[in-house]
């Protein structure tokens, strides 16, 4: 398979690089330069804005069933093209091909969910105070959307934003990550091939700061949606607030895992480790801070470390590989700093802890035991294959530990006791709580964080509503 020529997508046209400067896209498993993504000029961005603005009324007025048909066709095309799409994800991001195939399937499902739910954007009739009056609350699409997605779920994240906006009847300008542009462009191509009218979806790449400023400050944009780090999310939220625009922000996490004394430590360790090492730990819901009751602490740590040591790490294109490289050298440097700091603060290495002697940005699956609250990794999202384990004595202490950080995206609880599960799910400050498993998000469920982990929801009915505003119509 060949890596494609990278373009922008503006007004239904694939715009080639031409004289524009380019940014290198690098395969993290080999450090090979795959291609160059064109940097959009201010004129390109303005053109994308104009295209989204012009396309909005037509798309808004397209019947939901017609919109749904296009989204469904796009999903079918993505499924038919799975081999190519998955290959692109693995080349750009590094994760194993089987994981990439699952990501393509989930991304296609995002469009199917949007297609199904578009026909159910119901309003409400409110009884009038006098006869002969009709009072209606009518949801309508909010308008052209500016979207920004990260590199770590390079098909799912843009798909969730594009599917939500399109299903609701909005047009969109999206800036996917410059580190994973080809997969995003393929999603755009599936929508174009499915018959999406020109200008409803536009894609630009370039300097993230310049592009986000120009898009968010434009009066043509009515909503902002971002997935990435908390610090950038905060900046974009301020810009959106200045323009009184809605912002949904899906930001970093630092997911706690509570393993109570009545849980099976081996089963819990197996479940948590598989979730931890998915995409080399570069997932915002990745289980990271593991608080384990002292009665099951040793068997839990032992199993976690044993599984981590036996995990097969390598090029994601090779059969049997369970974990690929880190996506970029920034993550490798972060792992080095965090592990050295944790050891200085008294943590002990139970597995991994070093680079691997392979050509790309590889880091061994790492388990740090007795990692206290003072080390860097206990406070900053590692976004890598790093698990921190610490014992607890009583349930209140465990809940306090789970809530000790300003993040609140996902949390995991392992217990066989219904009352413990209920109390934990009520008291943990988090957008998502999973009991006895680690599947934090699906196309049909609401996903999003509290506190520093974000604002608003993506996915589910709630996610679709983010792209809509309610108009009150009162008719005599």
Residues that bind ligand NAD (CB under 6 A): 148, 150-152, 177, 208-209, 212, 227-229, 232, 236, 250-252, 284, 330, 381, 383
- Token readout for 181 is 């542009």
Quick check: 416 and 434 in contact, CB under 8 A?
A: no
Choice between 104 and 386, CB closer to ligand NAD: 386
Q: How far apart are the first and last CA of the chain?
A: 63
- Work out how close the CB of 252 gets to ligand NAD at its nearest, in angstroms, rounded to a whole number: 4
Choice between 39 and 236, CB closer to ligand NAD: 236
Closest to 278 (Cα-Cα) out of 444, 102, 435, 459? 102
Choice between 91 and 254, CB closer to ligand NAD: 254
- Work out how close the CB of 251 gets to ligand NAD at its nearest, in angstroms, rounded to a whole number: 5
Catalytic residue among 250, 381, 458, 466: 250
Choice between 150 and 408, CB closer to ligand NAD: 150
Catalytic residue among 170, 284, 375, 434: 284
The residue count for the chain: 476
- Work out how close the CB of 365 gets to ligand NAD at its nearest, in angstroms, rounded to a whole number: 18
Q: Is 284 a catalytic residue?
A: yes
CA distance 137 to 125: 6
Angle at 119 between CA 118 and CA 125, to 5 degrees: 110
Choice between 330 and 471, CB closer to ligand NAD: 330
- Work out how close the CB of 121 gets to ligand NAD at its nearest, in angstroms, rounded to a whole number: 27
CA distance 73 to 91: 26
- Work out how close the CB of 236 gets to ligand NAD at its nearest, in angstroms, rounded to a whole number: 6
Choice between 152 and 315, CB closer to ligand NAD: 152
- Work out how close the CB of 440 gets to ligand NAD at its nearest, in angstroms, rounded to a whole number: 12
Choice between 314 and 448, CB closer to ligand NAD: 448
- Work out how close the CB of 230 gets to ligand NAD at its nearest, in angstroms, rounded to a whole number: 7
Q: Which residues are catalytic?
A: 250, 284
């Amino acid at each position: 398979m060949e890596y494609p020529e990278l373009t922008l997508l503006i007004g239904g046209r694939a715009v080639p690089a031409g004289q524009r400067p380019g940014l290198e896209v690098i395969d993290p498993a080999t450090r090979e330069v795959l291609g160059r993504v064109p940097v959009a000029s201010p004129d390109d961005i303005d053109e994308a804005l104009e295209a989204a603005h012009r396309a909005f009324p037509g798309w808004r007025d397209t019947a939901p069933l017609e919109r749904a048909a296009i989204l469904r066709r796009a999903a079918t095309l993505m499924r038919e093209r799975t081999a190519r799409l998955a290959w692109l994800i693995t080349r750009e991001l590094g994760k194993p091909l089987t994981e990439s195939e699952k990501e393509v399937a989930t991304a296609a499902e995002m469009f199917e969910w949007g297609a199904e739910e578009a026909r159910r954007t119901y309003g409400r009739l409110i009884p009038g105070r006098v006869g002969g009056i009709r009072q209606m609350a009518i949801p309508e699409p909010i308008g052209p959307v500016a979207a920004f997605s990260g590199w770590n779920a390079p098909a799912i994240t843009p798909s969730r934003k594009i599917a939500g906006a399109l299903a609701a009847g909005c047009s969109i300008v999206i800036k996917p990550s410059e580190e994973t542009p080809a997969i995003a462009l393929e999603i755009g191509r599936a929508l174009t091939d499915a018959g999406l009218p020109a200008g409803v979806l536009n894609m630009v790449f370039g300097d993230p700061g310049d592009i986000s400023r120009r898009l968010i400050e434009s009066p043509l944009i009515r909503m902002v949606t971002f997935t990435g780090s908390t610090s950038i999310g905060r900046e974009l939220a301020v810009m959106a607030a200045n323009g009184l625009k809605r912002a949904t922000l899906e930001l970093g996490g630092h997911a706690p895992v509570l393993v109570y004394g009545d849980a099976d430590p081996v089963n819990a360790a197996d479940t948590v480790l598989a979730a931890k090492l998915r995409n080399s730990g570069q997932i915002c819901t990745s289980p990271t801070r593991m608080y384990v009751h002292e009665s099951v602490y040793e068997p839990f740590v032992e199993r976690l470390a044993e599984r981590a040591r036996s995990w097969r790490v390598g090029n994601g294109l090779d059969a049997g590989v369970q974990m690929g490289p880190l996506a970029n050298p920034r993550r490798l440097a972060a792992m080095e700093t965090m592990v050295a700091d944790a050891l200085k603060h008294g943590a002990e290495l139970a597995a991994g802890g070093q680079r691997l002697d392979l050509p790309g940005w590889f880091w061994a699956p790492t388990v740090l035991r007795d990692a206290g609250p003072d080390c860097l990794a206990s406070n900053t999202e590692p976004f890598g294959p790093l698990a921190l384990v610490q014992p607890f004595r009583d349930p209140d202490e465990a809940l306090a530990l789970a809530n000790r950080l300003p993040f609140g995206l996902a949390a995991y609880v392992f217990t066989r006791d219904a009352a413990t599960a209920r109390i934990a799910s009520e008291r943990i400050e988090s957008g998502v709580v999973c009991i006895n498993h680690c599947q934090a998000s699906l196309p049909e469920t609401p996903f999003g964080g509290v506190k520093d982990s974000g604002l608003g929801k993506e996915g589910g009915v709630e996610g679709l509503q983010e792209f809509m505003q309610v108009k009150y119509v009162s008719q005599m």
